[in-house]
Homo-oligomer: A and B are copies of this chain.
Amino acid sequence: MTDDTRTRLVRTARALIHGSSFAEVGIADLCREAGVHRGSMYHFFPSKEAVGLAVIDANWELLKALLEESFDTEAPPLERIDAFIGGFAGMLTAARGRMGAVPGCPIGNLALELSGRPGEASARIAEILTAWQRYFRDAVAEAVLGGHIPAGVDPDTAALRALAYLQGITLMAKAYDRPTLVAEARTAIRTLIQTPTP
């Protein structure tokens, strides 16, 4: 309650949208849940789409925190990736406990919902996905240099594949409501990363 009104709005919007979808969360719901009046919300955001963009950025900020924490260590590069996946799976299971169902990836959900439709959102999401890939790529590159991985591996495609698999398994985890799938992704992602690309 000591929070900034704007902050409170973004935080509530984040939670509501993560629990369902951008389209399904109305301004009325958002304001009610955040304890903010309609007009007050429009004092901070010019439109609902602007709230959506703020939510995307907030999601990325949270995800980036986990990425930094997992990758900015002296652990061997492949273990950093494992650590990140563990943390990511942890976030999902925690969210499931909070909301009763696996909510899916905060970025991936919005990627499917907002990509390929007018507005800045799709570009922003593409940027975020490439930034995310970059963390994987750097770790893979370091693993190649360190000899933990065959030299034939291209860090960029390995990173793309790793993120794709993570997104896909998270989708399945949501569809089946089985968060453990994500934690088990470690081995599959290792094989994806360790296999040379022609």
Contact A176 B103 (CB under 8 A): no
A198 in the interface (beta carbon within 8 A):
yes
Residues of A within 8 A of B (CB): 20-21, 23-24, 101-104, 108-109, 111-113, 115-117, 122, 125-126, 129, 160-161, 163-169, 171-172, 174-177, 181, 187-188, 191-192, 195, 197-198
Contact B115 A175 (CB under 8 A): yes
Which of B169, B176, B187 meets A198, CB within 8 Å? Answer: B187
18 pairs from A and B in contact (CB 8 Å cutoff): A21-B23, A21-B113, A23-B24, A101-B115, A108-B112, A112-B171, A115-B175, A122-B175, A125-B175, A129-B175, A160-B181, A161-B165, A163-B168, A164-B181, A165-B165, A167-B168, A168-B169, A191-B195
Nearest CB of chain B from residue A96's CB, rounded to whole Å? 9
Contact B171 A108 (CB under 8 A): yes
Other A-B pairs, 19, CB within 8 Å; known A125-B175, A164-B165, A168-B168: A101-B115, A102-B116, A103-B116, A109-B112, A112-B174, A112-B175, A113-B113, A115-B174, A115-B175, A116-B174, A129-B176, A160-B181, A164-B168, A164-B171, A165-B192, A167-B167, A167-B172, A168-B169, A191-B191
